[in-house]
Structure 1
């Protein structure tokens, strides 16, 4: 699987305070829980939709199953997460995807030792990107640019593409994350 060129942005271009968040290979939710009180998942959308232009080729499908959530601390949005997979993957390797509810998706992905993860990719998105637009719809006014990361999880031949957009409140930690 290849990502569009702009998802290969050099990490050195991201704000230093975001580096630990962008590069965490384990559960982002666990890292958030170590740094913020009362992490919760707010479901924004779960259903079928057309894949965005920069993700359709990742799954070789135009119509995908999608889950969009906000990871928040005390109602303060920290991360907008957008996860997609195919209908076939919902019947096989990622059959729990549609039944996650308000539980963090990472809790399922990192609990299963057979699920593998690709390398992480980074990108600075702006108001032209559909995920920036969706994040703004969910949380209100946003800076002109936001950093995001993307990776693919594999369960056998099935794939799940996860994109996490880091919101301004995440950088409120004065000295960066503790975990």
Structure 2
């Protein structure tokens, strides 16, 4: 059981991220669901699968480093995957795992391959999750550009949500970008 915690537990600075998804239309139920996105997708799609796109050590985006309280010059493990349902990509997931967080209980997170990160996070009752924040991504933003690389048709914008997960002193940031195929 995942526990939501207050912002006081996670003193974070949001850079143009919203506390709620304003005018998000039919994606709103997906965006505001505090449960496991993996579990919800598995319930909706019998052919759900995870396809790794990238797993590299790189510098996080500046506001990601701020959220995780790591120096912007430090590299972290960046894991990017596509979540498939109905034979099509429905979510692009971008996770930032600081090196210090890849020890102890989360030691295996760097070796998930095509296994969903959500399963590891939501099955451990000691994992705490910060409140979700939301953003409407546009073509000039890095996460939009990464997500649409895997699409034939490029939408005008994409909705994303993110939150920080904590286990003991280890933190990771998970951002989920909702692709147009999810609402079909």
Superposition TM-score, scaled by structure 2 size: 0.87
What is the CA-CA distance between 1:18 and the residue it aligns to? Answer: 0.9
* Aligned counterpart in structure 2 of residue 44 of structure 1, from 50, 53, 69: 53
What is the match of residue 177 of structure 1?
none
Distance across 2 between alignment mates of 1:142 and 1:94: 35
For the residue of structure 2 that corresponds to 1:7, the secondary structure is coil
1:116 correspondence with 2:125: no
Structure 2 unpaired stretches of 5+: 1-10
Counterpart-to-counterpart distance in 1, 2:145 and 2:56: 18
Change (3 A) 1:97 1:35: same
The CA distance in 2 between the partners of 1:89 and 1:161, in whole Å, is: 11
Residue of structure 2 in register with 1:159 after alignment: 171
Describe the superposition over 1:117-138 as per-residue Cα deviations: whole angstroms up to 9, x where unpaired: 1101111011111111011123
- Does residue 67 (structure 1) correspond to residue 88 (structure 2)? The answer is no
Q: 2:14 matched to 1:7?
A: no
1:134 matched to which residue of 2?
Answer: 146
Runs of 4+ residues over 4 Å off in structure 1: none
Alignment partner, residue 86 of structure 1: 98
Aligned CA-pair RMSD:
1.4
Alignment check: 8 A CA contact 1:44 1:138 kept = no
- The alignment of Structure 1 onto Structure 2 pairs a total of residues equal to 171
Q: Could you report, residue by residue, the CA deviation over 1:63-92 in whole angstroms, capped at 9, with x for unpaired residues?
A: 111110000024300000000111111023
Contact kept, 8 Å, 2:19 with 2:132, in 1: the verdict is no
Q: Which runs of 5+ in 1 are unaligned?
A: 173-179
Q: Does the residue aligned with 1:160 lie in a helix, a strand or coil?
A: strand
Give yes or no for contact 1:44–1:69 (8 Å, CA) kept in 2: yes
Per the TM alignment, residue 37 of structure 1 is displaced from its structure 2 partner at its CA by 2.6
Aligned equivalent of 1:18:
27
- Residue 94 of structure 1, CA deviation: 2.1
TM-score by length of 1: 0.89
